[in-house]
Chain A
Amino acid sequence: MGRDKMFAIFFLVILAAVAQGCTVKAVGDPNRPITINAHITLDIKGLEKTASSIEDYVSGAPAQGTVKTQGGK
């Protein structure tokens, strides 16, 4: 395997790591906010878990951990 190929792989790993925790900062006029329309795919299983937890809480069934009953974040 050539050295170029190894560098390409290394670059891909770094790129994936950066993409994992990347932060996007918008720079511009605060009086003209930028609107970004993104297509977000919902994870239905995650939603079902949340819904089930909330309905268990409402019915008095054992809590599943999603609903925090005390205030604060």
Chain B
Amino acid sequence: MKTPQLLLKFALIIIVLIMTSSIVGAVSYDIKEMTPEVKASLDARRARYEQLAVMKAQGKVGENNRGYLEALESGDGVRDVVDAENNDRKSIYKTIVGQNGLPADALATVEKVFAQVQRDKAASGDSLQDESGNWIKK
């Protein structure tokens, strides 16, 4: 009798489809709500971007392996710019964790993923800290 075998195949296909949709549907981590705080952080980072690009090219700042900017030289307000940038980044990272219902300890993972993306997008000659903690020039 062929009908039970067809039913079995149909049931297996349905199970696989359901499982696949569960997995695929769980992989999006977005800024779900553009709160005034996160919008201010994003806008401030955009406004600061060119200034930081120049400072990176001059070797004054670099990207560390924890997703934050690090001052490599002192003077001329470098520290202030680094602190402002890092505060904005932290606000964005925390928003991703909070709005996606991730546990608090996921912040470290979010930071590391952003660090990797910063390394990938860095311009040639920028100072970067690799995963083992060594500072290198891209």
Task: State the A residues within 8 Å of B (CB).
Answer: 1, 5-6, 9-10, 12-13, 16-17, 19-20, 38, 40, 42-52, 54-55, 57-60, 66-73
Contacts and interface: CB of A to CB of B under 8 A. Distances in A.
Given A47-B109, A59-B49, A70 B34 contact: yes
Tell me the dominant secondary structure on chain B's binding face.
helix
B22 interface: yes
Given A1-B8, A51-B117, A73 B33 contact: yes
- Which interface class (under 10, 10 to 19, 20 to 34, 35 or more) fits B? 35 or more
Contacts of A67: 31, 42
A38 B29 CA distance: 18
Contacts of A59: 49, 121
Given A13-B11, A46-B29, A50-B29, 12 more contacts: A1-B4, A5-B4, A10-B11, A13-B18, A40-B106, A43-B27, A47-B29, A48-B116, A51-B114, A54-B42, A58-B45, A71-B34
